[in-house]
Amino acid sequence: MSSSDRRTLLALLAAAPLAACGFAPAYGPQGGAGRLQGRVRMSDPTDKASFDLVERLEARLGRPDTEIYDLTYSIVTEQIGVGITADGATTRYNLTGRVDWTLTERATATRRAGGSVNSFTSYSAVGSTVAGLAAEEDAAQRLMHILADQIVTRLIAASGSW
Cβ-based neighbours of 151, under 8 Å, separated by 6 or more? 57, 71, 73, 99, 101, 117
Confidence of residue 18 (pLDDT cuts 50, 70, 90): low
Residues 21 and 75 in one domain: no
Residue 126 Cα to chain centre, angstroms:
29
Residues 120 and 154 in one domain: yes
Q: Apex CA 146: angle with CA 25 and CA 152, to 5°?
A: 35
Residues 9 and 78 in one domain: no
Question: Which CATH number do you get for residue 137?
Answer: 3.30.160.150
Residue 1, pLDDT > 60, answer: no
Residues 81 and 154 in one domain: yes
Q: Which domain holds residue 15?
A: 1-31
Per-residue pLDDT, 17: 60
Residues 24 and 44 in one domain: no
Per-residue pLDDT, 144: 98
Confidence of residue 114 (pLDDT cuts 50, 70, 90): very high
Contact 42, 67 (CB under 8 A): no
Residues 61 and 22 in one domain: no
Residues 22 and 42 in one domain: no
Average pLDDT, whole number, for the chain? 88
CA distance 93 to 79: 7
Residues 121 and 151 in one domain: yes
Residue 159, pLDDT > 80, answer: yes
CA distance 116 to 100: 4
Residues 10 and 65 in one domain: no
Per-residue pLDDT, 13: 65
Instruction: Give the total number of structural domains in the chain.
Output: 2
List pLDDT tens digits, range 46-86.
Answer: 999 999 999 999 999 999 999 999 999 999 999 999 988 88
Stretch 6-12: mean pLDDT: 71
List pLDDT tens digits, range 132-142.
Answer: 899 999 999 99
Residues 118 and 84 in one domain: yes
**Checking DSSP bridges between strand 40-42 and strand 110-124, what pairing results, if any?**
unpaired
Strands (E), the chain: 40-42, 69-84, 90-105, 110-124
CA distance 71 to 112: 10
Residues 135 and 72 in one domain: yes
Please give the torsion angle defined by the CA atoms of residues 45, 46, 52 and 54, in that order, rounded to the nearest 10 degrees.
-10
Stretch 6-16: mean pLDDT: 68
Percent of the chain scored above 90 by pLDDT?
Answer: 62
Residues 50 and 72 in one domain: yes
